């Protein structure tokens, strides 16, 4: 068996066997085939596609290309959540402690931000002292004792995906459905949880802006996850505006704490409750999504969710006092209020451009090795559909310098359209996919 034979077979639109896919994945993991052959195979997959069985085989082989976490020592059904990425998407920091407070263990391995999307690990590291680096035994012990842990990938999880992901980025094969599905699920399966809830974003800030593409991705993820033997559900949620009002690492942690403390609500809470209710359903803690949401609201109102977050922070070496005093989070030296400057209705947001505005301030990175400033970002004070006047607050900038603030202001104004006609609110939910059904919401 050679890579050339496999490239030729897929180029002609023929299905690959499990053994052939295993050979391809092994070549990627061990880097025993030249990049140009791996890239040729990726392009053949992009152009010819894969069957669900092929995609499942690719997912499982990529999972098994490295370490697979064994979480069987943790009692109960361990449940994980994954978002395809967005701006102001701090749902993990809200729902993980709430779900854990409802009795479902949350063992989550997260990623860092790149480009216009934020990363959960970067947000957590804005908490003074907190470490996202934990060994698997430490990870398991924390979930046993606290009920929740959110850490970076440990060991050598899915090394084949690292190789192929880097090649996809430079070969215009990022938008291949089988490659997206196998990349997401191989890492989730390797992380060891028993059930997975997926948040598939759609809209101007999503990896797949078109709704039909997002629906196709959600359906493929659920089909392949089910074939791989895991209970999987996928919500399709809107990213036509930032999910939360705060964009930037420490600012997003502040918003999560404000929500858990009962001081804030809005779209971030709404989406977190919907995702969390699906997690409780798959974990066997609730019989219906409605029952799950009621449980989460009780954990919110009682303060049990905030207490779980406080305990998680302390267990990972962070300063739990941030849960009572958010001023202990990093603070930007320049804070500048800007107004809308005109009358009308907020009709559109280029969410990716808003994410890049925060990245340009230092909140994100263009390359994996770039450093970030945890303190910078902005707080939006308008939503799509709002009626505004010239003096209506648009946002508060948190910047390192006045020059950074000025550049961010210009970028944010370009990204937000204020029109003369009333318009509807942006939708939070557009679909739900489970193994039994797919519905538009």
Tell me which fold the domain 3-63 belongs to. 1.20.970
Instruction: Give the domain ranges of the chain.
Output: 3-63, 79-155+173-324+430-436, 330-419
Q: What pLDDT, in 10s, does the model give residues 223-265? A: 999 999 999 999 999 999 999 999 999 999 999 999 999 999 9
Task: Determine the average pLDDT of the residues in 394-422.
Answer: 97
Q: How confident is the model at residue 22 (pLDDT cuts 50, 70, 90)?
A: very high
Q: Are 360 and 115 in contact (CB under 8 A)?
A: no
Active site residue 287: no
Catalytic position from the list 187, 223, 311, 398: 187
Please tell me the predicted confidence (pLDDT) of residue 211. Answer: 93
- Three-class DSSP category at 389: coil
Mean pLDDT for all residues in the chain? 93
Residue 396 DSSP SS3: strand
* Residue 369, both tokens: 């090795």
- Judged by DSSP in three states, 330 sits in coil
The rounded distance, in Å, linking the Cα atoms of 151 and 112 is 11
- Whole-number pLDDT of residue 113: 63
The answer to whether residues 412 and 422 touch, using CB atoms and an 8 Å cutoff, is no
**CB 404, CB 376: distance < 8 Å:** yes
E strand or H helix that includes residue 48: helix 35-48
> Is it the case that residue 169 has pLDDT exceeding 90?
no
Q: Let me know: does 362 contact 378? Beta carbons within 8 Å.
A: no
236 sits in which H/E element: strand 232-238
Greater model confidence, 366 or 162:
162
What's residue 368's pLDDT?
63
For residue 202, what are the β-bridge partners? Answer: 238
Active site residue 194: no
Neighbour order of strands in the sheet with 393-399 = 246-247, 377-380, 393-399, 334-339
Write out the two tokens for 89: 């998407």
Structurally, at CATH architecture level, domain 330-419 sits in Alpha-Beta Complex (3.90)
Neighbours of 419 (CB within 10 A): 12
- Indicate which residue of 78, 82, 188, 398 is catalytic: 82
> Which pLDDT score, from 0 to 100, does residue 78 have?
93
| Active-site residue, 161 included | yes
For residue 369, what pLDDT is reported? 66
In the predicted model, what is the mean pLDDT of residues 274-284? 96
Q: What is the pLDDT of residue 404?
A: 96
3, 36 contact by CB (below 8 A)? no
339: Cα within 13 Å, side-chain hemisphere: 9
> pLDDT band at 349, cuts 50/70/90?
very high
Instruction: Determine the average pLDDT of the residues in 291-305.
Output: 97
Which of 46, 168, 308, 310 does the annotation list as catalytic? 168
Summarize pLDDT for 73-127 with one digit per residue, the tens.
999 999 999 998 889 999 999 999 999 999 999 999 887 765 666 689 999 999 9
Specify whether the CB–CB gap between 309 and 257 falls below 8 A. Answer: yes
Phi, psi of 357 (to 5 degrees): -65, -40
Which residues are registered as beta bridge partners of 201? 237
Confidence (pTM): 0.91
Instruction: Please give the distance of CA 303 from its chain centroid, rounded to a whole number.
Output: 25
DSSP secondary structure string for all residues of 154-204: -SS--HHHHHHHHHHHHTT-TT-HHHHHHHHHHHHHHTT-SEEEEEEEEST
Q: Which residues of 274-301 are buried (b: 16+ CB within 10 A; e: fewer)?
A: bbbbbbbbbbebbeebeebbbbbbebbe
What percent of the chain shows pLDDT beyond 90? Answer: 82
Catalytic residue among 161, 194, 199, 258: 161
- CA angle centred on 156, ends 155 and 159, rounded to 5°: 160
Which pLDDT belongs to residue 115?
Answer: 60
* β pairing state of 387-388 and 334-339: unpaired
What top-level class would CATH report for the domain 79-155+173-324+430-436?
A: alpha beta
Q: Is 116 a catalytic residue?
A: no
Clarify whether 246 is annotated catalytic: no
Residue of 183, 204, 214, 272 with catalytic role: 183
What is the pLDDT, as a whole number, of residue 175? 82
Segment 22-42 mean pLDDT = 94
* Chain position carrying tokens 């957590």: 124
- What the block records as the tokens of 252 is 């997003």
What is the rounded CA–CA span in Å between residue 223 and residue 384?
Answer: 34
Q: Which tens digit of pLDDT belongs to each residue from 182-231?
A: 999 998 999 889 999 999 999 998 888 999 999 999 999 999 999 999 99
* Chain centre distance of CA 256: 15
pLDDT in tens, 44-62: 999 999 999 999 999 999 9
pLDDT for res 350: 96
At residue 153, does pLDDT exceed 80? no
State the Cα–Cα distance between residues 28 and 168, nearest whole angstrom.
Answer: 12
How far apart (Å, rounded) are the C-alpha atoms in residues 214 and 197?
15
């Amino acid at each position: 068996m050679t890579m050339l034979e496999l490239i030729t077979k897929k180029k002609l639109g023929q299905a690959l066997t499990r053994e052939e896919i295993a050979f391809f994945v092994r070549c990627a993991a061990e880097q025993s085939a030249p990049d140009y052959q791996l890239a040729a195979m990726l392009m053949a997959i992009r152009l010819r596609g894969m069957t669900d069985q092929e995609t499942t085989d690719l997912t499982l082989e990529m999972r098994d290309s490295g370490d697979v976490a064994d979480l069987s020592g943790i009692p109960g059904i361990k449940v994980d959540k994954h978002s395809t990425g967005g701006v102001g998407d701090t749902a993990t920091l809200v729902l993980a402690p709430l779900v854990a407070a409802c009795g479902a263990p949350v063992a989550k391995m997260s990623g860092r931000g790149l480009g216009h999307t934020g990363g959960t690990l970067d947000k957590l590291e804005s908490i003074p002292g907190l470490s996202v680096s934990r060994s698997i035994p430490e990870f398991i012990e924390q979930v046993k004792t606290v009920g929740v842990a959110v850490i970076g990938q440990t060991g050598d999880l899915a090394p084949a995906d690292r190789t192929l992901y880097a090649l996809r980025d430079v070969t215009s094969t990022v938008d291949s459905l089988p490659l997206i599905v196998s990349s997401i699920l191989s890492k989730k399966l390797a992380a060891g949880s028993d059930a997975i809830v997926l948040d598939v974003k759609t809209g101007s800030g999503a990896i797949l802006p078109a709704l039909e593409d997002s629906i196709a991705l959600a359906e493929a993820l659920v089909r392949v996850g089910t074939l791989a033997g895991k209970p999987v559900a996928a919500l399709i949620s809107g990213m036509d505006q930032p999910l939360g009002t705060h964009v930037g690492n420490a600012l997003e942690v502040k918003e999560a704490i404000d929500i858990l403390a009962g001081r804030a609500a809005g779209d971030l809470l709404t989406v977190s409750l919907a995702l969390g209710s699906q997690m409780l359903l798959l974990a066997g803690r609730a019989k219906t999504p409605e029952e799950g949401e009621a449980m989460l609201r009780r954990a919110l109102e009682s303060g049990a969710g905030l207490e779980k977050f406080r305990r998680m922070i302390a267990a990972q070496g962070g300063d739990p006092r941030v849960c009572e005093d958010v001023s202990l989070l990093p603070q930007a030296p320049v804070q500048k209020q800007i107004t809308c400057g005109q009358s009308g209705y907020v009709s559109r947001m280029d969410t990716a451009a808003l994410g890049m505005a925060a990245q340009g301030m230092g909140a994100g990175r263009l390359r994996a090795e770039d450093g970030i400033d945890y303190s910078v970002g902005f707080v939006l004070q308008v939503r799509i559909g709002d009626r505004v006047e010239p003096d209506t607050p648009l946002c508060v900038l948190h910047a390192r310098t006045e020059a950074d603030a000025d550049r961010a202001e210009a970028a944010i104004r370009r990204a937000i359209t204020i029109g003369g006609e009333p318009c509807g609110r942006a939708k939070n939910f557009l679909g739900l996919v489970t193994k039994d059904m797919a519905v538009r919401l």
